[in-house]
């Protein structure tokens, strides 16, 4: 962990976070934009992800494909990704070559070309990417559950976007999105690694300081209203198994309930990979694994909870084993959720989650690239200041807090439930009467 994270704000609104870590001659440079699928409207869903692709298609200074070739030639790696709340770009290089990153990122912040022929070519790539996801039944199920869980807020749609929008989006749609959101006053720079803080700040000022700020940046004003009753969807398509997915509205990253909910998810399915590259154990001692996988009801089960700007979801998913109807998987999952909302977790469970979180956190913050990722994504969803106190805040969670948030968020009226039923010869489960559904619960 760096001794100090230096925060600076340039006159054009650019936020700069610098973490000097001089343990190896390596540095990483990230530019995070406060734009993702959260900032999209119907008709241009998927535009943020598509713009990310176009940022590699050239500027007057760096031709198509030249950015990656230059980074590789100088012994580095680079990439980018888009999610609901952000779009991020990074290069990790030998520290004496990190100036290349500043040249690349300052240039494409304002000079990306969006040539019509490149837009047309990338349309095929983006649609193919979506169609690749469609090969997985979980894609169809999670997309349908997400769209049903959010009626008002733009978390309604997935980052890849709806296919009809990808087919009809224009070059102007993409370029206008770029011109609107790719601005210094809508970006956060994170640099970590082997450099002098004052020297790096001077370099950032020289490379980015003259880029004009753009105003106003459109703000997301939509607020998802409280859900007043359970919602259900069924997806019927060819597939290898029956799948279950339930989404419960949960807290945002800046909500005091975030850390108790983090522990809750850990008790249910273990603390998964917290690093940029993922990883982590499957939580074999967790409640859901013992109740479903060990009892051979499900091939896998998971509880996912991620930090988001606005209230997101706590997601429960499982793959039914052959011959096990999805309603039986659902019943077992709901039984575990009712238990954890009614009775305090044990000292052993709490200690295990904290131990897992500590080990995952150490792994997740090992290396300057992971550090750049953590500082940037936390700053976007809440504040980078969560980073040095993350484990401390977890340790402050009391067992009654976990019971409280379980009862608060894992309530029947707060959930959207989805089933995936294969149509290729499988027999869908019989529809239950209202009386039987009530008895089942």
Question: What's the pLDDT tens digit per position in 167-216?
Answer: 999 999 999 999 999 999 999 999 999 999 999 999 999 999 999 999 89
Asked whether residue 128 carries a pLDDT value surpassing 90, the answer given is yes
pLDDT at 146 (0 to 100): 98
Instruction: Flag whether 225 is in a domain.
Output: no
Query: Token digits for 228?
Result: 């007043």
Confidence of residue 2 (pLDDT cuts 50, 70, 90): low
Among the ranges given (225-239, 304-318, 426-440), the one the predictor scored with the smallest mean pLDDT: 426-440
Instruction: Compute CA 172 distance to the chain's CA centroid, rounded to the nearest angstrom.
Output: 27
Write the pLDDT tens digit of every residue in 299-353.
999 999 999 999 999 999 999 999 999 999 999 999 999 999 999 999 999 999 9
**Average pLDDT over every residue of 373-389:** 95
Cβ atoms within 10 Å of 139's Cβ, excluding its own: 18
Asked whether residue 217 carries a pLDDT value surpassing 90, the answer given is yes
Give which of 339, 326, 322 is closest to 417, Cα–Cα: 326
Is 87 found in the same domain as 31?
yes
Among the ranges given (65-69, 73-77, 109-113, 428-432), the one the predictor scored with the smallest mean pLDDT: 428-432
Instruction: Compute CA 388 distance to the chain's CA centroid, rounded to the nearest angstrom.
Output: 20
**Average pLDDT over every residue of 362-382:** 92
| % of the chain residues with pLDDT over 70 | 93
Instruction: Compute CA 65 distance to the chain's CA centroid, rounded to the nearest angstrom.
Output: 27
Confidence of residue 363 (pLDDT cuts 50, 70, 90): confident
In contact, 298 and 321? CB cutoff 8 Å? yes
Instruction: Flag whether 277 is in a domain.
Output: yes
Q: How many domains does the chain have?
A: 2
Is 380 found in the same domain as 283?
yes
pLDDT at 366 (0 to 100): 84
Is 107 found in the same domain as 251?
no
pLDDT at 293 (0 to 100): 97
Three-class DSSP labels, the chain:
CCCCEEEEECCCCCEEEEEECCCCCEEEEEEEECCCHHHCCCCCCCHHHHHHHHCCCCCCCCCCCHHHHHHHHCCCEEEEEECCCCEEEEEEEEHHHCHHHHHHHHHHCCCCCCCHHHHHHHHHHHHHHHHHHCCCHHHHHHHHHHHHHCCCCHHHCCCCCCHHHHHHCCHHHHHHHHHHHCCHHHEEEEEEECCCHHHHHHHHHHHHCCCCCCCCCCCCCCCCCCCCCCEEEEEEECCCCCEEEEEEECCCCCCCCHHHHHHHHHHHHCCCCCCCCCCCCCCCCCHHHHHHHCCCCEEEEEEEECCCCCCCEEEEEEEECCCCCHHHHHHHHHHHHHHHHHCCCCHHHHHHHHHHHHHHHHHHCCCHHHHHHHHHHHHHHCCHHHCCCHHHHHHCCCHHHHHHHHHHHCCHHHEEEEEEEECCCCCCCCCCCHHHHHHHC
Confidence of residue 360 (pLDDT cuts 50, 70, 90): confident
pLDDT at 323 (0 to 100): 95
Is 133 found in the same domain as 258?
no
Is 176 found in the same domain as 272?
no
In contact, 307 and 376? CB cutoff 8 Å? no
Asked whether residue 22 carries a pLDDT value surpassing 90, the answer given is yes
Residue 128 class from Cβ within 10 Å (0-12 exposed, 13-18 middle, 19+ buried)?
Answer: exposed
Write the pLDDT tens digit of every residue in 135-165.
999 999 999 999 999 999 999 999 999 999 9
pLDDT at 437 (0 to 100): 37
pLDDT at 431 (0 to 100): 43
Give which of 108, 126, 114 is closest to 187, Cα–Cα: 108
Query: Token digits for 417?
Result: 């439930």
Is 82 found in the same domain as 39?
yes
Q: Is the peptide bond before 89 cis (omega within 30 degrees of 0)?
A: no
Confidence of residue 359 (pLDDT cuts 50, 70, 90): confident
Asked whether residue 434 carries a pLDDT value surpassing 80, the answer given is no
Q: End of a domain among 208, 240, 268?
A: 208
Query: Token digits for 34?
Result: 């406060």
Confidence of residue 427 (pLDDT cuts 50, 70, 90): very low
Is 413 found in the same domain as 340?
yes
pLDDT at 432 (0 to 100): 42
Asked whether residue 279 carries a pLDDT value surpassing 70, the answer given is no
**Average pLDDT over every residue of 101-117:** 98
Is 431 found in the same domain as 342?
yes
Instruction: Flag whether 94 is in a domain.
Output: yes
Is 406 found in the same domain as 272?
yes
Give which of 341, 22, 360 is closest to 193, Cα–Cα: 22
Q: What does each C-alpha distance from 174 to 111, 121, 186 come to in angstroms? A: 14, 14, 17
Confidence of residue 425 (pLDDT cuts 50, 70, 90): low
Q: End of a domain among 208, 240, 256?
A: 208
Cβ atoms within 10 Å of 279's Cβ, excluding its own: 12
Average pLDDT, the chain: 93
Range of the domain at 203: 5-208
Instruction: Flag whether 103 is in a domain.
Output: yes
pLDDT at 122 (0 to 100): 97
Query: Token digits for 414?
Result: 């707060």
| % of the chain residues with pLDDT over 90 | 88
pTM of the predicted model, to two decimals? 0.93
Q: What does each C-alpha distance from 248 to 1, 67, 217, 233, 251 come to in angstroms? A: 34, 41, 30, 14, 10
Q: What CATH number is attached to the domain comprising 360?
A: 3.30.830.10
Terminal CA-CA length for the chain: 48
Q: In what order do the strands lie in the sheet with 187-193?
A: 5-9, 15-20, 187-193, 26-33, 87-94, 77-82
CA 312, CA 265: separation in Å to the nearest integer? 14
Instruction: Flag whether 194 is in a domain.
Output: yes
pLDDT at 284 (0 to 100): 84
**Average pLDDT over every residue of 349-371:** 89
Instruction: Flag whether 98 is in a domain.
Output: yes
Instruction: Flag whether 110 is in a domain.
Output: yes
More confident site: 431 or 337: 337
Among the ranges given (131-145, 178-192, 354-368, 407-421), the one the predictor scored with the smallest mean pLDDT: 354-368
Is 10 found in the same domain as 75?
yes
Give which of 3, 33, 11, 219 is closest to 108, Cα–Cα: 33
CA 293, CA 171: separation in Å to the nearest integer? 48
Is 258 found in the same domain as 134?
no
Is 202 found in the same domain as 286?
no
């Amino acid at each position: 962990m760096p001794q100090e994270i230096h925060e600076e704000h340039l006159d054009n609104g650019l936020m700069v976070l610098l973490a000097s870590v001089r343990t190896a001659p390596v540095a990483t440079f990230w530019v995070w934009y406060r734009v993702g699928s959260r900032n999209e409207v119907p008709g241009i869903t998927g535009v943020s992800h598509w713009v990310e692709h176009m940022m590699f298609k050239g500027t007057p200074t760096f031709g198509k494909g030249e950015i990656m070739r230059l980074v590789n030639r100088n012994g580095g790696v680079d990439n980018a990704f888009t999610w609901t709340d952000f779009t991020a770009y990074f290069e990790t290089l030998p520290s004496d070559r990190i100036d290349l990153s500043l040249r690349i990122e300052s240039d494409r912040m304002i000079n990306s070309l969006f040539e019509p022929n490149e837009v047309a070519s990338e349309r095929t790539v983006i649609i193919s990417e979506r169609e690749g996801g469609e090969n997985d039944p979980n894609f169809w199920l999670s997309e349908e559950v997400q769209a049903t869980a959010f009626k008002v807020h733009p978390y309604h749609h997935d980052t890849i976007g709806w296919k009809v929008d990808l087919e009809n989006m224009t070059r102007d749609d993409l370029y206008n999105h770029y011109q609107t959101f790719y601005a210094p006053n809508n970006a956060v720079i994170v640099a970590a690694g082997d450099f002098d803080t004052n020297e790096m700040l001077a370099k950032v000022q020289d490379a980015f300081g003259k880029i004009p700020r753009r105003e106003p940046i459109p703000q997301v004003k939509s607020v998802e209203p409280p859900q007043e009753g359970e919602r259900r969807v069924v997806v019927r398509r060819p597939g290898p198994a029956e799948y279950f997915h339930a989404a419960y509205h949960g807290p945002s990253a800046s909500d005091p309930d975030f850390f108790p909910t983090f522990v809750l998810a850990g008790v249910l399915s273990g603390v998964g990979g917290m690093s940029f590259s993922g990883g982590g154990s499957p939580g074999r001692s967790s409640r859901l694994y013992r109740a479903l996988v060990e009892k051979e009801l499900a091939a896998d089960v998971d509880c996912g909870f991620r930090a988001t700007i606005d209230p997101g979801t706590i997601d429960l998913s499982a793959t039914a084993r052959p011959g096990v109807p999805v309603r039986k998987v659902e019943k077992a999952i709901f039984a575990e959720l009712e238990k954890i909302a009614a009775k305090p977790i044990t000292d052993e469970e709490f200690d295990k989650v904290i131990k897992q979180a500590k080990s995952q956190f150490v792994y997740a913050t090992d290396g300057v690239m992971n550090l750049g990722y953590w500082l940037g994504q936390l700053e976007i969803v809440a504040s980078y200041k969560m980073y040095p106190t993350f484990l401390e805040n977890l340790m402050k969670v009391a067992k009654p807090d976990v019971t409280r948030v379980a009862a608060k968020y894992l309530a029947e009226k707060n959930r959207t439930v989805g089933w995936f039923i294969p149509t290729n010869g499988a027999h869908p489960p019989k529809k239950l009467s209202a009386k039987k559904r009530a008895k089942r619960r």
